[in-house]
Amino acid sequence: MSMSCLRTLALLLVPALLAACGSSKPVPPFAATITRSTYGIPHIQARDYPGLGYGYGYAFAEDNLCTLLEDLVTIRGERARYFGRDGSYSIPAVPVTANNVDSDFFWKLMATDAVVAQLKAAARPETAQLTRGYVAGFNRYIRELRAGEHPGRHAACAQAAYLAPISEDDLYRRYFRLSIIASSSVFTSEIAQAQPPPLSGSGSAAPGLAAKAAALQQQPGVLAAFARSKRLGSNMYGLGPEAVQGGGNLLLGNPHFPWSGTERLYIVHLTVPGKMDIMGASLYGVPLVLIGFNDHFAWSHTVSTAYRFTLYELPINPLDPTQYYYEGNTVDMTPVPLTVQVKESDGSISSEQRTLYRSQYGPMLTLSSGGVPVLSWDRLRGYSLRDANAENARLINQFFAWNSAGSLAEFEARHAEVLGVPWVNTVATGPGEHVYYGDISVVPNTPDDLVERCKAPLLSPVIASVAPGLPLLLGNRSDCQWLSDSDAPVPGIFGASHLPTLRRNDYVANMNDSYWLSNPEQPLTGYARIIGDEDTERTLRTRLGIRQIQRRLAGGDGLSGTGFTMAQLQQIALGSEIYSATLGLGAVRSELCPTPLSADIQQACAALGNWDGAARLSSVGTPVWIEFWQRLAGVNNLWVNAYSSSDPVNTPNTLNTANVQVRQALADAQQTLIDHGIGFDTPFGQVQHSGVHQGSAIPIFGSFGEIGAFTVADNDGLSDQGYAVNFGNSYIQTVGWDNGHVHAEGFITYSESTDPASPHYRDFTEAYSQQQWHRFPFTRDEIRAAQISSQNLSE
């Protein structure tokens, strides 16, 4: 052996020998450096994944301790214990609200110890290490707060009885909750309240199909969460060399998520040298980046139209309504006795028991609409739900595979192989690469021919009337079970070969309609209806999103050149154009307003006469149009020219002002503004503001997607104080590459922290209000230049 080899061997052996002799300090199990840059963005670096999770958990607790703790208490089924019988729990992303007691029974039934054990068993070692570290870091901050450190912080929970260390099980329950947010959790009350009918008594007569259909159409209730008007949404563009000036690549990610609760997004940068270097945003309680970028690729998501579950109709044994028939035999449902603790109004703690039931498919449920039982559990029929994402143990592994990928090709391959994305479309690109779209997500394997032969004959059309594409299947036949694909990671879901994908060199896009028009030059067709619709009218937001790309490529939007620059992409993303105004404002001005004016539309017409057709802070007249267009939702014969398959981006069009409901909607809009004291000449920035920040009002631009806004700001309606935004644009990233190095700019619209005592409670929101795009520091030099604090943590 040469002398140089001996010297190298000696250097390698010295640390081990010193440790064996007790001369070296023990290596802590968790160690990380947290460097915060402008707006409080944490850049976390560690030597390993336990340390990376540790740094992330601590940094996140520093910013959002109370919000996540409340959610973890809820998923444990302890909400009524701490927040009382009379409170409620909402998931605004869906949206769904359940009283605290129903919420507890639901989560105790669904997020069981067995579910946690399955998730742990399926977790790859690195994700288990990240989870363990995150819990340790989060708990360290809790210990410090309880010991009197961080005075004045987290007043909402600093003295709460539930301020206690969390467990790894809590975080796995959080992953589970995120998996089923677009499926089982929508039916929280419907599952928690489902009870078998009594054996005695005749019972009331069941309403007819026409009554059930009418009730659903009038009050779709929980099924509205799965209709086209569902609130959870996003915009995303992938722009390839043929769509970018100079031949580069750009990506826009723009999820529309709640501004409160744990479906907020949080910007973070995660680095383990040589293994992971990824920046972007994640939902609360997830120790990985869910939408992000690095030097090799960038990606984003939008909520997919695919259904993640099917309903099953079970023929009930009339002598025992906890039995159903399957292939001619009776099958016992599984009773699940549950107990929850409830804090009463006098502060005492009581216990409440229920027995809920599961079929072979999943939980039993009942569904009413407007007091009419649509899916009832009687002595003839009952209904159960099978949720593919309740069986999905791959979510956290999917995002680890992406966070640690080394190329766009690896990113795409892991998308198909892991197939753990629960409910979103994906767009991705990288420097010098094509652009990629895929709705490779967890979908029940129910091709159209299976649905046709297995659909429940009476009620399927009723359900389809408000939730087209949602299967209601016969639960008594083995041939109605979900199928399996050879390329699927588990039985019962579609494999990647039966899910839509598209690769192009110009662009791909999605704005929450189905996969069909990801690029109108190459429509995607031939997929199962449960995934999405084809050759149907697109939403106004989708149409505007596509038209913005088409206009830019043609140079017809007033900006310079043809194709995108990052600055132009940013200008378009926050431009606040209202596409319904593009289609209808001219007709209102020329056909409604020139008629002999009566008082009921005179002020509205005057405001619209000066309006710029947008929802900018400087716009005057925007509230009139918002109130006007919202009243046109569901109006028949709204357009003169109907939808055409030959021109799906530009049809329907031409507002039908001869429809008497159109004029009435304008009159009602005018009266609404008068009733709330909103001036017709008031700039929009004085009418619309953040609804989640204490202190002085922060003006917010943008509006509802339903009226054709691409720049989305959603609220619960007009009040005397104007519009209070609580939903919409959240994390925004525009990503490109300069000489192979990533260049990303964007916002977290509601800021990094939910704690009013934090310096980062509203700073990013104020920047967003002024459209001051922030470059996300990624390299060591960029982070150092933007650094506002740094700390080394270990234990």
pLDDT category of residue 230 using cuts at 50, 70 and 90:
low
From the candidates 103, 189, 234, 769, which is the catalytic residue?
234
User: What is the reported pLDDT for 229?
Assistant: 52
Provide the pLDDT for residue 2.
43
What is the rounded distance in angstroms from the CA atom of residue 547 to the CA atom of residue 580? 13
Percent of the chain past pLDDT 90, that is, above it, reads 89
Indicate whether 563 pLDDT > 80: yes
Q: Which two tokens stand for residue 66?
A: 């109370």
Report pLDDT digits (tens) over 477-514.
999 999 999 999 999 999 999 999 999 999 999 999 99
Q: Among residues 30, 46, 31, 57, which one has the least CA distance to residue 131?
A: 57
Of 696, 646, 529, 662, nearest in space to 583 by CA: 662
- Angle at CA of residue 534, ends 419 and 219, nearest 5°: 90
Q: What percent of the chain has pLDDT over 70?
A: 95
Q: Give tens-digit pLDDT for 31-45.
A: 999 999 999 999 999
Q: Is 733 strand, coil or helix? A: strand
Q: What is the pLDDT of residue 95?
A: 83
Dihedral over alpha carbons 225, 227, 233, 239 (to 10 degrees):
160
Residue 393's alpha-carbon distances to 125, 263, 289, 442, 609, in angstroms, are: 14, 20, 18, 11, 56
Q: How confident is the model at residue 14 (pLDDT cuts 50, 70, 90)?
A: very low
Residue 11 has pLDDT above 50, yes or no: no
The rounded mean pLDDT for the chain is: 94
How does pLDDT run across 342-354, given as a tens digit for each residue?
Answer: 999 999 999 999 9
The better pLDDT of the pair 781, 95 is held by 781
pLDDT in tens, 635-664: 999 999 999 999 999 999 999 999 999 999
278-290 pLDDT, tens per residue?
999 999 999 999 9
* Closest C-alpha to 673, from 717, 714, 716: 717
Name the residue type at position 264. R
User: Does the pLDDT of residue 204 top 80, yes or no?
Assistant: no
Identify the H or E element spanning 218.
helix 209-218
- The pLDDT of residue 9: 37
Q: Is the pLDDT of residue 66 over 50?
A: yes
pLDDT band with cut points at 50, 70 and 90 for residue 223: confident
Q: What is the band of 214 on the pLDDT scale with cuts at 50, 70, 90?
A: confident
Q: What are the φ/ψ torsions at residue 561 (nearest 5 degrees)?
A: 70, -170
Give residue 21's pLDDT.
42
User: From the CB of residue 228, how many other CB atoms can be counted at a distance below 10 Å?
Assistant: 16
User: In this model, does residue 8 exceed pLDDT 80?
Assistant: no
Q: Span 132-156, mean pLDDT?
A: 98
Q: What distance in Å separates the CA atoms of residue 313 and residue 381, rounded to the nearest whole number?
A: 7
Number of alpha carbons in the 13 Å side-chain half-sphere of residue 567 = 3
- The pLDDT value given to residue 545: 98
CA distance 737 to 250: 8
Whether the per-residue pLDDT at 148 is higher than 80: the answer is: yes
Contact 795, 135 (CB under 8 A): no
Predicted pLDDT at 15:
37
Per-residue model confidence (pLDDT) at position 236: 98
At 123 the pLDDT is: 98
What would the mean pLDDT of 255-260 be, rounded to a whole number? 96
**Regarding predicted confidence, which is higher, 598 or 259?**
259
List, in order of start, the domains of the chain with CATH numbers.
Answer: 233-305+393-455+481-571 (3.60.20.10), 576-729 (1.10.1400.10)
Asked if 627 and 672 touch (Cβ cutoff 8 Å), the reply is yes
Query: What average pLDDT does this structure show over 137-160?
Result: 98
Q: Using alpha carbons, list the distances in angstroms from residue 536 to 462, 639, 649.
A: 20, 16, 10
| pLDDT at residue 20 greater than cutoff 70 | no
234 is catalytic: yes
Q: Check whether 631 has a pLDDT greater than 70.
A: yes
pLDDT at 705 over 80: yes
Q: What is the pLDDT of residue 225?
A: 67
Q: Which residues have CB under 8 Å from 532's CB, separation 6+?
A: 304, 305, 306, 439, 469, 500, 513, 514, 515, 516
Banded pLDDT at 24 (limits 50, 70, 90)? low
- Structure confidence at residue 97 as a pLDDT band (50, 70, 90): very high
pLDDT interval class at 10 (50, 70, 90): very low
Judged against a pLDDT cut of 70, whether residue 627 lies above it is answered with yes
What pLDDT shows up at residue 206?
Answer: 75
pLDDT at 19: 41
